[in-house]
Amino acid sequence: MLFNSPIFLFIFLPITLGGFYLLGWWRGRNAALLFLLAACLVFYAYSSLFNFSLFLVSVVVNFLFGYAIAHFRPNSRAWLIGGIALNLALIGYFKYTGLIISSINQLFSASFIIPIIALPVGISFYTFEQISYLIETRQQKAEPSLARYSLFVSFFPHLIAGPIIRPHQLLPQFSAPTFAHFSWQNFALGISFLLFGLFKKTIIADSMAAYASPVFASAASGGTPGFVNAWGAALAYTFQIYFDFSGYSDMAIGLGLMFGVVLPFNFNSPYKATSIIDFWRRWHITLSMFLRDYVYIPLGGNRSGPARRYINVMLTMLIGGLWHGANWTFVAWGGLHGLFLLVNHAWRALRGEREVTVVRQWIAQIGTFFLVVLAWVFFRAESFDAAQRILDGMRGLHGWLHGPLLDPAPGFSEMLKVIGLTVGDDWLAGGSLLSWFVAALAIVWGLPNTQQFLLGEGRPKNARLAWRPTLGWAATLGLLFGVAFTYNLVAANRVSEFIYFTF
C-alpha cells in the first residue's frame, strides 16, 4: 500500500487513526496497541499474501531467537550467530539468487536456469531491523511481549522503506504512559510532515522521473544520448531520488507523529554536504549507522592502522551498495563512494584542519555534488553498458543534442487546463528544463529542510517563513495537498511507488 495512494490517504489512515485513539481512550493502551498491530499487518498483507506469510514467519522466528539468546546465556553467541545467518540466508535467497546464478553463467559460460523470484516488499529493511534486535538482545534483555515486538517490526510508517529502527528507539515508546493518548501538537506536526512529503514526491520527484526514465531506458536499449540529454537525465535522476527519498522520509516521520511515535530522522539535506564523509552523515542516516555499527566496526574499524581502515571502509561501502539491489551496478556505486571516502579521509589526514571560508565551502559543496551525480548514473542504470552510454554522453562523445528534450513534468500543463489555464506545449519542455534544475538546486541548497522548517532546528526565532499550528498554515498545507493530489491522479493519472520500495 503506497503512502501516496487514495486508499491509504482516505481509507486506511483515517480508520487506523480513529480506531487507535478511540480504543486508547476507551480500553487503554494495550487494546490500542493490538488494534494498531492488526492494522499494520493488514497494511503489509495488502501487497501479497505470500509476502505476508513470509513476514509473519520471520517475525515469530526472530522473536524466538531473541528469547533463546536472552534465556540461554551460555549458548547466546551460538543463538545469535544462528539467527543472523538465518536472516541473511532469507534475504540472500530472495534478493540475490538471480544475481549469483547469472554471474556464474557469465564467468563459466554455463547455462543454469535463473529462477524468477519476486522480491518481498520491505525485506531489506525488516531483516536488518531484526538483526539489530538480536544483537541488542545479547547485550540487554529480550522483549517479553510478542505483540510489542511484532509492532516494532511491522509499524507501517517505517516498514517498507525505513528508517531502519533499533529496538531501543521504538519499543520503549509502546510501553510509555502517553502511548495512545492523542496530542494536537503531535498531530499537527505529523500531518504537516506528511503533506510536505507528499508534495515533494508527487510534484518534484515524479516530474523529474518523467525526464530521467526515458533517457536511461533508451541507453539500456542501445541509445546514445547527447551531451544535453545525458546531463539532463543524470541531473533529473539526482533530483528525483533526492525528493523521492526526502518525501518518503518526511511522510514516515509524519505518520509516526500522528500516532504519537517519534521515529529517527533519516535525511538531512545531503546535497548541502561539503564532503563525501559529510554526505553519508546526511543520506539514509539510519543505514549509515547500521553499516558503521554492524559491519565497519566488527571488521576492525580504524583500530588497526590506516591501511586496514581503508580496506574496512571499502568493504563496508561495497556491502552497502549490494544491499540496495541485486545488480553489480549497485556494487559499483558503493565502490565509487568507497573510493571517494578513501580519498576524502586521506586528504584530511594529509592537510589536517583548515580554516573554512565561504568560498572553500561552496567549492567543496559543488565538488561533492558533482561526484554524487556521477555515482548516481551507476545506481540508476540497468547495466554497465547503459551507464557507459550515459557517461559518454556526459563527456560529449555523442554530440551536443542527440534525442528529443522531453517535458520534465508531463501532465502539469494538463492539470492547469483542468482549472482553466492554457499554456503552450513548449512551456515546460526544451530550455525550461534548465529552470526546473535551477529551482531544484535553489530548494536543496538555499532552503531549510523539513525538520528545520517545522521544528525550528537551526532557524532564527524571528524568522518570517516559519511553520506554526495556525489556520493560515493549515490552509497553505491544504493547498499543497490539493495540488499534489490533483497532479498525482488527474494529470499524471497514476500513483508511483517510492524508489526505496524496490530495495
Q: Which pLDDT tens digit goes with each residue over 313-326?
A: 999 999 999 999 88
Termini Cα distance of the chain: 15
- Mark whether 464 and 327 lie in a shared domain: yes
Distance, CA of 142 to CA of 65 (rounded, Å): 10
Written as nine digits, the cell of 88 is 541473511
What is the per-residue pLDDT for 202? 87
Based on the fold, state whether residues 97 and 242 are members of the same structural domain: no
Q: Has residue 310 been placed in a domain?
A: yes
**Residue 402 and residue 388 share a domain:** yes
Q: Which of these ranges, 84-88, 354-358, 368-372, has the smallest mean pLDDT?
A: 354-358
Query: Are 178 and 194 within one domain?
Result: no
pLDDT, mean over the chain: 87
Burial environment of residue 340 by CB neighbours within 10 A (0 to 12, 13 to 18, 19 or more)? buried
pLDDT band at residue 286 using 50, 70 and 90 as cut-offs: very high
Same domain, 163 and 198: no
Residue 218 pLDDT more than 60? yes
Residue 417 within a domain: no
Chain CA centroid to CA 62, Å: 24
Contact 410, 431 (CB under 8 A): no
Place of cell 522480491: 119
Q: Does residue 216 have a pLDDT over 90?
A: yes
Residue 284 is among the residues annotated as catalytic for this protein: no
Query: pLDDT tens digit string along 7-28?
Result: 999 999 999 999 999 999 999 9
**What band does 428 get if pLDDT is binned at 50, 70 and 90?**
very low
CA atoms within 13 A on the CB side of 335: 7
Q: What is the C-alpha to C-alpha distance for residues 449 and 435, in angstroms, rounded to an integer?
A: 21
Give me the count of residues in the chain.
Answer: 503
- Same domain, yes or no: 14 and 133: yes
Q: Residue with C-alpha cell 499474501? A: 49
Q: What is the pLDDT of residue 17?
A: 97
The grid coordinates listed for 98 are 538471480
Contacts of 423 (CB under 8 A, 6+ apart): 413, 416
Band (493; pLDDT cuts 50, 70, 90): low
Sign of the alpha-carbon torsion through 354, 359, 362, 368: negative
Say if residue 176 is in the same domain as residue 203.
Answer: no
Distance, CA of 219 to CA of 240 (rounded, Å): 18
Tell whether the model's pLDDT for residue 56 goes beyond 90: yes
- Percent of residues, the chain, with pLDDT higher than 70: 89
Count up the domains in the chain and report the number. Answer: 2
Q: Is residue 392 part of a domain?
A: yes
The residue range of the domain holding 385 is 188-411+426-481
Q: What is the pTM of this model?
A: 0.90
CA 33 to CA 175: how far, in whole Å?
A: 10
Buried b / exposed e over 230-264, threshold 16 CB at 10 Å, is bbbbbbbbbbbbbbbbbbbbbbbbbbbbbbbbebb
Q: Are residues 115 and 203 in the same domain?
A: no
Q: 95-136, pLDDT tens digit by residue?
A: 999 999 999 998 888 888 888 888 899 999 999 999 999 999
Q: How far apart are CA 215 and CA 223, in angstroms?
A: 8
Q: Which of the residues 168, 181, 284, 324 is marked catalytic?
A: 324
Average pLDDT of the segment spanning 445-463? 75
Cell of 39: 492494522
Residue 461 located in a structural domain: yes
Q: Which region among 43-47, 212-216, 233-237, 486-490 has the lowest average model confidence (pLDDT)?
A: 486-490
Residue 421 belongs to a domain: no
Per-residue pLDDT, 162: 82
- Please say whether the dihedral angle defined by the alpha carbons of residues 55, 163, 234 and 416, taken in this order, is positive or negative: positive
pLDDT grade for 437, boundaries at 50, 70 and 90: confident
What lies within 8 Å, CB to CB, of 439 at 6+ separation is none
Rounded average pLDDT over 56-69 = 96
CB-facing half-sphere around the CA of 223: CA atoms within 13 A: 20
Q: What angle do CA 364, 368, 372 make, to 5 degrees?
A: 175
pLDDT for 185-201, tens place per residue? 899 999 999 999 998 99
Asked if pLDDT for residue 404 goes beyond 60, the answer is: no
Q: Are residues 162 and 309 in the same domain?
A: no
**pLDDT exceeds cutoff 90 at 344:** yes
In a domain, 128, yes or no: yes
Q: Is the pLDDT of residue 58 over 90?
A: yes
The set of residues, in sequence order, having a beta carbon less than 8 Å from that of 307 and lying 6+ positions away, is: none
Note whether 345 and 239 are same-domain residues: yes
